[in-house]
Amino acid sequence: MRRRDLITLLGGAVAWPLAARAQSERMRRIGVLMGYAESDREGQANIAAFQGGLQKLGWTEGRNIRIDARWAAADADLMQRFAKELVALQPDLILAQNTPTTAVMLQQTRTIPIVFANVSDPVGSGFVTSRARPGGNVTGFIDMEGSIAGKWLELLKEVAPRIARVAFLFNPVTAPFAEYYLPPFKAAAASLAVEAIAAPVRDTFELESVVAAHAGEPNSGLIVMPEAFMNVHRAEVTSLAAHYRLPAVYPRRFFAELGGLLSYGNDQSDNFRRAATYVDRILHGAKPNELPIQTPVEFELVINLKTARALDLDVPPSLLARAAEVIE
């Protein structure tokens, strides 16, 4: 072999892995549709957790991924518009925050892979055919199991034993999966001799009127469903419960931090961190229908003692001992 041919061959051998590495390092595009407003602290914490999870897996924004986020603030019209925008960008993958955002994304595309971070009932919502074999172009992470509704009622009865009537608050537009939680709630109510009331509200005006009417009956309490409307309007919900002196149980820590009596549920940001693992696998060639739906792994009980005192409630020591955090 001539020396010039040898040099050319060796040069090609060096260039090939460099070209392969350059191809593997090409910029990948990820669309994100959030149900929160961009200014929402919780929404930003979710995105930060997702980015942190990606970085641990070797994906850095500006180097090998670009994230295009849209913030709909629980506005159905904005969600539709942003879903169309994200599909038009032709991303490699889309991350959807919750049930409403996943629903609108699936209306726009059945080909672009979608990973959802916090969906309550993906099978009942029609997103997937089964948890083990999702089918189609979507997979992801369950928010909370329906059976947790019974646990919320048990906790409410434990912290406020005189409770006899409990309203379960939700917006039917943003929580079309309400039936996922209502049967376990009603079953627990029957066993605890508590009147169970499904309390749908469609806006903040209706929210106040329903809470006020419920407060007119003695020994009443509230449970808040984990859904987009209640999350976005958490300040109004906790303020109304305080104003009408209603003991209430919430599904998220941020309700308790705002003055809610007690919260019990999964860590939303942890689901976003875990969602990064599925995004990584899809970007490396896996198909969404090959990735089973995952259930939450971290739950936390948070008790606001200041609120308990304001409601003249004595929190049992056994309940305090189980809390991940007690807010004084």
Judgement on whether residues 131 and 212 belong to the same structural domain of the protein: no
> Which tens digits make up the pLDDT trace of 130-177?
999 999 999 999 999 999 999 999 999 999 999 999 999 999 999 999
- Cα separation, 88 vs 121, in Å, equals 28
Q: What is the pLDDT of residue 9?
A: 41
Q: What is the pLDDT of residue 16?
A: 41
Judgement on whether residues 193 and 137 belong to the same structural domain of the protein: no
pLDDT tier for residue 66 given thresholds of 50, 70 and 90: very high
> Which tens digits make up the pLDDT trace of 164-211?
999 999 999 999 999 999 999 999 999 999 999 999 999 999 999 999
Q: What is the pTM of this model?
A: 0.88
Judgement on whether residues 161 and 207 belong to the same structural domain of the protein: yes
Judgement on whether residues 102 and 38 belong to the same structural domain of the protein: yes
Q: What is the pLDDT of residue 10?
A: 41
Q: Is 141 helix (H, G, I), strand (E, B) or coil?
A: strand
Judgement on whether residues 233 and 98 belong to the same structural domain of the protein: no
Q: Is 45 helix (H, G, I), strand (E, B) or coil?
A: helix
Share of the chain above pLDDT 90, in %: 90
> Which tens digits make up the pLDDT trace of 249-267?
999 999 999 999 999 999 8
Domains: count for the chain:
2
- Cα separation, 108 vs 45, in Å, equals 27
